[in-house]
Structure 1
Amino acid sequence: MESVPSTQTKPQAREDTKKNALIFIAVVAILIGTIFVSLLQLQPPKVVSATGSANEFSAERALSHLKEFAVKPHPLGSIEHDRVRDYLVHSLEEFGLNPEIQKANSLNSVGRWIAGGTVENIVAKIEGTNSTKAIMLVAHYDSVPGSPGAADDGAGVAAILETVRALKEMAPLQNDVIILLTDGEENGLLGAKAFVEGHPWVNDVGLVLNFEARGNEGPSFMFETSDNNSWLVKEFVQGADTPVAHSFLYSLYKQMPNDTDFSVFKEAGLKGLNFAFGDGVSHYHTTSDNFQELSFESLQHHGEYMLHLVTHFGNVDLTQTHEGNQVFFNILGSSMITYSDKLVIPIMLLAVILFAVTVVHGYRLKKLSLLGTLAGFLVFIIGIIGSFAIGSGLWSVLTFIFTDQEWLMGTDKTVGILYFISFSIIIFAFLTILYGLAHKKIKTGSLMMGALFLWLILLAASSFLLQAGSYVFAWPLLFALICVNILIRLDEHSWKSYLVTAGFAIPAFLILSPVIYLFEGLISMQMAGVLMVLVSLLGAMLVSIFTTLKIKFNWVIPSIFLVTGLLVMITNSINLNNMPTAEHPQASDIAYFMDADSNKAYWAARQPLDEYTSNYINENVKKGHTSELFPILNWDVSYTQADLYSMEAPSVTVLSEKVEGARRTIEYQLKTNRNAEELLMESFSTMNVSQLIINGKEVELKQKEFTKESPFEFNYVLGQAEELHVKVTVNAKDSIEWMIADRSYSIPESKGERPSKYSTYGDNSYIMKTIKH
């Protein structure tokens, strides 16, 4: 280990405590100010009133539509769904359009899961003067069974209606504008699938603008593009007034299993952009996703994107073909930086060269050593591991204490952000202690370069594997290396060195703070350990402050961080203990399962039992898994045996069975006998499915071999029909065993009214039976 000069000389012993306290306050103020400025980009635009200019988008005008159709759940096939459909058609007609309904039996295969239903897409067109290709505005008008869907996706639909109104006030655009209000998105992207497979206008589409929501507030974020997005991104930045987009999060999103209608359009080869707001995830798909809780600013942001981008792209040639992708991110509000991904590798090489030059520079001035830099790298790895452990450990303790509020802790924005802030401050206390101890043996320069070496590794990895996200590591690292070269020539205890460190850390905090905030919204505090690793990466920019800045005693600064973090965490926990409330509702659900083979029934709840669900589950309560009750679903539940209600199980009739060579083809008629909304089917035996036809339409199977451990699963929304025809071809020697079930969006008995402090994803009942032959 390298020798570190003693810090206990008489001049340093007489260090001006007041001066260091002021420096500490200044550094903290700079960094907090930077974080505040960086998050300004996440402020959606102000609402334009209904009395505003006729050719402006007004969230208030859009809300007048939302109040008409997003008042009750309107899932695919429901009676309320039909009322919403008719309202939307009538509204488009009032704007002078000629909407049509594309009705189709739509089927979508995703691995071993197949979804289906009869959808009714609403399609209309605003003719252009000399169209090159059409711009297509898309939002889905169906909701999940338990939610009015004001945000998901009523906000997108209402914004389209208001955008159509504004467009009709303007001079005609060159390009056509297609309006597509898809159906059945919540059931497996069925409406989008039907459009690309069966509507003639799909060949006219030059650009798709799709709008979604995963919460009920926050900025509308452009989170996905089609491939070869270089031209699109450049035009997006020019056309949008308040763009919010980070290619790092887009890169991460591509690695996740999430899908929207845009996934179908993208797979079909259409170009486009995907938008969503995602704060307030506790309201997502619940009864509290209503227009009273919706952020008008988020609705305004959706609409401004629509109107500005349609008018921008409406007068450009959409037939152009473009290659290459862009790196893009916000900086200082809605200002964006974009550059070609072809520059990613050169920027990485520049960072490698600058890193090597910095090491040589520091070595020559005896401010660092190669062995010390390696030791500094190991110290930073310890910091990363420790941060992950602290984050995960604190979250585990809190969820153990507040077991009944765990769902609320992971979804409520206010609760989650305050825990995030408290954990982050505690991480800074940990890093201050760690680097204070390490500095007794290792020089500051070595510790800094050791930490930045991990940043260099991350930059190299992202430059090859996650190019669109490489900027997160590239620019903070380049500025940090410049900072180190300056610090090498300064007295590490001088006020100049501290302010230089804080100043050159600004790019890292500007770039990473909004990314971490958005990432926290995406994964929630349930992955607190990962989030604290991201926070600890920012600590690499402040190593010289951690090692040398002291206020009288070494433990004062870490104590300030630790006490502040604990106070925020404790205060937040006290507030949490008084929840749920109507403003901060807790999820509550109850489901009824009936096994028609054994004549047994159960009440089950996924969430902790509350004063409402305890009306159903209060005696002989067991904790287990739905595989014990209903194998199709994958839930951990609390359950108890229930009374049998006079409800008939779905019936299955074998209409025909024919063996030809090595194949056996069986045709079934499935029927619900209680007006249930969905029919479900799962294989219980090993089989090889070579062909599947549902209601006369063949399914494109992406998997054909199924086992009991990896079964065939099928879900079809009946709507107001009662039966379903399924024709399946398997190997002649396959033994056939199916579980057939129906799902109703209601329960057989209501035992009181759920209090307003609880929201729900919807209460459902399931009846199952097995068949063998």
Structure 2
Amino acid sequence: MFPDSAAPAPGGLAGLAAGLLLVAALGWAALRPTQPPLPTPAPPDAPAAQFSAARAAAHLAVLARTPRPIASNANRAARDYLLHQLRALGLEPQVQRAVVLKNYVDYNANYESTMGVVHNVLVRLPGTAPDRLRRPGLLLVAHLDSAQASLGAASGAAPVAALLETLRALHALHTSAPLANDVLVLFADGERVGSLGMQAFVEQHPWARQVGLALRFDGAGSGGPLELVNTHGANSAAIDGWLQAVPDVRGSSLMHEIYQLAPRPLRLGALARLEVPVLQFANRGRPFDGAGVLDTPARLERATLQHMGGAMLRLARHFGAQELDTRASNGQVVFALPFVGTVHYNGALAWIATPLACLLLVGAVGIAMRRAGVRYPALLQAGFIAPSIAIALGMLAWQLWMHVPALHRAWNPVAPWHAQQALLYLGAICALCAALFIVAQRILQRLTGTAAAMLGGLISLMLVLVLASWLAPGASYLLAWPLLGALASFFALHSRRVAAWPAPARLAVLLLGVLPAVVLVLPALRDTYMALSPLRMNLPVAMLALLLGVSTILLAQARRYVARVLLLAGLGGLALAGSADEFQEAPLIRADGLVYYKDMPSWDAYWLHPDAPLDPWERTLFSNLKEPHIFVNVFGWESPRQWYAWAPRDGLEFPFVRILRNGKTPNRYADFTLISKNRAPEIRLQVNYARPTRVTVNKRVLLDVEAKTLTIVLYGMEDELLHFRIDVLGDPIFNVKVEEILPGLPERLLRSLPARPAGGTPLVPLSAKSVSADVLWFY
């Protein structure tokens, strides 16, 4: 910030040490837990007006008995149970049956076209306000379905069970504490295949036009407190209502941006198209594996269920009692400050802070060029090298994780102590990167001078702020306020009045410039790391680079021993993290990887299993192989290695297909019908060796643009006659591969196999699958 000879004295070594201790204390205050302990689960005989986790757990046990993928028999059974419980409460639920169309496309024009039949369950609690029919209603949302091989206890069944118990409590409170507004409840179907149920509600149900505020509830782990993870379109009234109704539920607008990068993202779905404020809540503790096999009722903490349901009840009573502000804003920027609480403001204000920071930076560059003798070449050199240092640190953290397997013990999502071990690993990485940053920064200062080195880093951060304000406004506060603090400190230290102050006072100004970065970036770094895991260390290291870049003026005063101490601390922390005991949680349940595959082209059927270790029972089934192979005859040379063995052909019916026309050039197309005699819940069609330009199913247009590749996925068609027409570009020879997919294995074949031995790890029911396939060629 200054030439080496003109740097403001920080008040000596003692003053600098005292300042660093103060910053460390403020950092600790920012990192200290602010979440109160989870509530004690209420017993089944709790008062009727109170939420009871025990009563909700009874619903959870029924709903999460088996996986509930869309259009499956288990999905239908869960829906019937839900309807029965709602009617038992004296409510009048309805089922919305709707057909939904949706397209996904990537940057390479690879399309997936989906058509699904969804069955949403909806119920309405009428309000008591005289004008309730003209008032907007409160919408509470959870989803009923699960992934194909997951019980979906925490991720789906727990919010549904909690919502059932909440409705019971609201119904019990109706006479003593009636709600003014109508409360609309949506139990959505098809969430796991693209939020189809919520899309059906938003597009086709008349209640969607009556919503004034939507609250969605999800689960991303088997424990932990409920948190606010998305504030889409939220206005000040919605945020204030959240803070008043459930002050024990924390949240920030940053987490929405972070969760879009997480391994299991928490998506808002089609609710974003309601054009009203939407708040999304979820718990994240005790995360389960990517496939959701660990998402079981036994693993779900009852205190989490109590916290979720209690928050639901308080939110419903708060927003149900007051007139709702339906105006969707640009979203709210929300974050917590130590000793202050939650701060929020309209997202549009980000575009006030960003230009202000840009103007201050331009002024800082001008002052540095006039008073410190900074020249453009040095500034450009620093502006290029500073972000390169941050990128290099991120690559170092990634390489450490990839090439030192012992460090993987520090991150085990199922271990009870994983948070402490993970934070130890994160702290070691931060210390190591900080040491290397200080060394690199000192070298850069020798090349360009102190002022150019600091301003080069701030210029890079300013560019990131502009992008964040545009693409991720919820995260803009993380850059805007630290940059404004650093630049304000710069101008203050260059003023004649402050220059005349004693050294301790100038040191205080220096520390105040760093303070916003410390109190904002440190908690965000911790939460980001815990959400993304070490596989995405680039973002936490980028936040560390933000903190270090803003603190350059303070680090410029650091002596060599500071870098050495940090380096030793980082290496020691990594050694401790790598020496952690290996933790293996006894698996409560595991998915069944067995597949029954019936193939029309080869006119045969097979047992298949992915390339994974086999248990003794599976090894007898695949006794024909000593190791997995590529099954060339059926799947081709590009298929993965797998176990395979021949199976009886009478497990399923083949797809019933009739080719009606094979259009010739110049109007090249395939015209055929398909009936699933298996009543398959899922049907997949893959167009190979051609570029589709238009696709219709029963005259519904699925695709009307040119696609590089195309997959068609149908849900819930049962045994309906499906008429396909697929127009393609040019005059290719192409095929359409058809697969009918059913959960579980054919019962008649299971009866012919020896029973699995008792005493082994139980399997997720119906997590195996059966496939009936055919390939249609068009010449």
Name 1:746's counterpart in structure 2.
744
Q: Tell me, yes or no, if the aligned pair for 2:212 and 2:326 is still in contact at 8 Å.
A: no
The structural deviation recorded for 1:2 is: 9.6
**Contact 1:589–1:760 (CA under 8 A) maintained in structure 2:** no
Q: Distance in 2 between matches of 1:133 and 1:472?
A: 35
Residue 727 in structure 1 maps to residue 723 in structure 2: yes
Q: Please show how residues 147-226 of structure 1 align to structure 2 within 5 Å.
A: 147-170=150-173, 171-226=177-232
Identity of aligned residues (%): 22
CA drift of 1:620 comes to 5.6
Structure 2 distance, partners of 1:703, 1:259, is 29
Give the secondary-structure state (helix, strand or coil) at the position aligned to 1:282: coil
**Residue 274 of structure 1: aligned partner:** 280
Alignment deviations for residues 123-169 of structure 1 (CA, whole Å, 9 cap, x no partner) = 21111123212212111112222222111112211221222123223
Alignment partners' CA distance in 1, 2:520 and 2:85: 43
My pick for the range that moved more, 452-461 or 268-277, is 268-277
- Please give the root-mean-square deviation of Cα atoms over the aligned residues, in Å: 4.7
8 Å Cα contact 2:140-2:184 kept in structure 1: yes
Aligned to 1:701: 702
Is the counterpart of residue 460 in structure 1 residue 454 in structure 2? no
SS in structure 1 at match of 2:586: coil
Per-residue CA deviation, residues 34-86 of structure 1 (Å, 9 max, x unaligned), is 4413x536x67534634766545454543343234323323334444344333
- Residue type of the partner of 2:213? L
**TM superposition shift of 1:539:** 1.0
Shift of 1:108: 4.0
Shift of 1:392: 1.9
- The aligned counterpart of 2:775 is 770
Other structure's SS at 1:597 match: coil
User: 1:155·1:299 contact (CA, 8 Å) conserved in 2?
Assistant: yes
Displacement of 1:715 in angstroms is 3.5
Match of 2:253 in 1: 247
> 2 CA distance for matches of 1:564 and 1:492?
36
Matches of 1:586 and 1:417, distance apart in 2: 29
CA contact (8 A) 2:739 2:771 kept: yes
- What's the counterpart of residue 713 of structure 1? 712
Q: 1:135 to 1:595 in 2, by over 3 A?
A: same
Cα separation, partners in 2 of 1:321 and 1:28, compared to 1, 3 Å: closer
**Larger deviation, residues 728-737 vs 378-387:** 728-737
Distance verdict in 2 for CA 1:92–1:584, change over 3 Å:
closer
Partner of residue 540 from structure 1, selected from 543, 549, 563: 549
Match for 2:31: what amino acid?
F
- Asked whether the 8 Å contact 1:3–1:442 carries over to 2, the reply is no
Shift of 1:601: 4.5
1:218/1:644 CA distance change after superposition, 3 Å: same
Q: C-alpha displacement at 1:520, in angstroms?
A: 3.3
Q: Is the 8 A contact 2:258 2:528 kept in 1?
A: no
Question: Counterpart of 1:277 in structure 2: which amino acid?
Answer: N
Give the drift of 1:289. Answer: 0.8
- Range with greater deviation from structure 2 (138-147 or 240-249): 240-249
Report the equivalent of 1:644: 647
Secondary structure in 1 aligned to 2:186? Answer: strand
Within 5 Å, which residues of 2 pair with 1:621-700?
A: 621=627, 637-648=640-651, 650-654=653-657, 657=660, 666-671=671-676, 677-686=681-690, 688=692, 690=694, 692-693=696-697, 699-700=700-701
Q: State the TM-score, normalized to the length of structure 1.
A: 0.81
Deviation string for 1:563-614 (max 9, x for gaps)?
33333333333436x24323899999565656442348574436x6477899
Contact 2:3/2:451 (<8 A) preserved? no
Match of residue 46, structure 1, among 39, 45, 48: 39
Aligned to 1:264: 270
Q: Deviations over 1:290-313 (max 9, x none)?
A: 233224454344334433332233
Worse-matched range after superposition: 135-144 or 320-329: 320-329
Report the secondary structure of 1:713's partner residue.
strand
1:278 touches 1:521 (CA, 8 Å); kept in 2? Answer: no
- Quick check: 1:367–1:446 contact (8 Å CA) kept in 2? no
Whether contact under 8 Å (1:75, 1:145) holds in the other structure is yes
- Letter of the structure 2 residue corresponding to residue 421 of structure 1: G
Deviations 1:399-421 (A, max 9, x none): 59979x99989x97666554433
Q: Which amino acid aligns with 1:510?
A: V
Deviation at 1:173, TM superposition (A): 1.4
* Alignment match, 2:93: 99
The equivalent residue for 1:63 is 57
Deviation at 1:537, TM superposition (A): 1.4
Mapped partners of 2:41, 2:122: distance in 1? 28
Structure 1 23/401 Cα, relative in aligned 2: closer, same or farther at 3 Å?
Answer: closer
SS of the equivalent of 1:428 reads helix
Give the secondary-structure state (helix, strand or coil) at the position aligned to 1:643.
strand
The question of whether the paired residues in 2 share the 8 Å contact of 1:138 and 1:179 is answered with yes
Q: CA 1:542 to 1:109, structure 2 compared with 1: closer, same or farther past 3 Å? A: closer
Worse-matched range after superposition: 126-135 or 303-312: 303-312
Q: What 5-or-longer segments of structure 1 have no aligned partner?
A: none
Separation in 1 of the partners of 2:766 and 2:458?
46
Change (3 A) 1:307 1:298: same
Q: Quick check: 2:149–2:591 contact (8 Å CA) kept in 1?
A: no
Q: Aligned pair 1:479/2:485, yes or no? A: yes
Kindly provide the amino acid, as one letter, of the partner of residue 113 in structure 1: E
Q: Residues 354 and 768 of structure 1: is their aligned pair in 2 closer, same or farther, counting only changes over 3 Å?
A: same
**1:382 and 1:175 mapped to 2: Cα distance?**
55
Amino acid at match of 1:729: R
Give yes or no for contact 1:136–1:178 (8 Å, CA) kept in 2: yes
In structure 1, the residue corresponding to 2:545 is in which secondary structure?
helix
Report how many aligned residue pairs link the two structures.
745
- Number of the residue aligned with 2:529: 520
d(CA) in 2 for partners of 1:294, 1:191: 25
1:480 CA drift (Å)? 1.9
Is the CA contact 1:687–1:730 (under 8 Å) kept in the aligned structure 2? Answer: no
- Aligned-pair CA distance for 1:485: 4.4
- The residue that corresponds to 2:139 in the other structure is 136
How does the TM-score come out when normalised to structure 2?
Answer: 0.80
8 Å CA contact 2:389–2:440 kept in 1: the answer is yes
Q: Which moved more, 1:102-111 or 1:139-148?
A: 102-111
Q: For the Cα contact (< 8 Å) 1:192–1:261, is it kept in 2?
A: no
Q: 1:433 aligns with which of 429, 434, 439?
A: 439
Aligned CA distance change for structure 1 residues 498 and 288 (closer, same or farther; 3 Å): farther
Deviation at 1:314, TM superposition (A): 1.9
> For the structure 1 residues 226 and 334, does the alpha-carbon distance in structure 2 shift closer, same or farther, using more than 3 Å as the test?
same
1 CA distance for matches of 2:530 and 2:50?
A: 30
Residue number in structure 1 paired with 2:126: 127
Q: How does 1:345-494 map to 2 (within 5 A)?
A: 345-359=351-365, 366=372, 373-398=379-404, 416-440=422-446, 443-485=449-491
Counterpart-to-counterpart distance in 1, 2:627 and 2:183: 56
Alpha-carbon spacing, 1:160–1:751, altered in 2? closer, same or farther (3 Å): same
The separation in 2 between residues aligned to 1:589 and 1:506, in whole angstroms, is 53
Judging changes above 3 Å, is the alpha-carbon distance between structure 1 residues 203 and 373 closer, same or farther for their aligned structure 2 residues?
closer
Q: Is the 8 A contact 1:581 1:756 kept in 2?
A: no
Paired residues of 1:388 and 1:533 also in contact (CA < 8 A): yes
Secondary structure of the residue aligned to 1:277 is strand
Return 5+ residue gaps in structure 2 as ranges. 106-110
| Alignment partners' CA distance in 1, 2:408 and 2:320 | 53
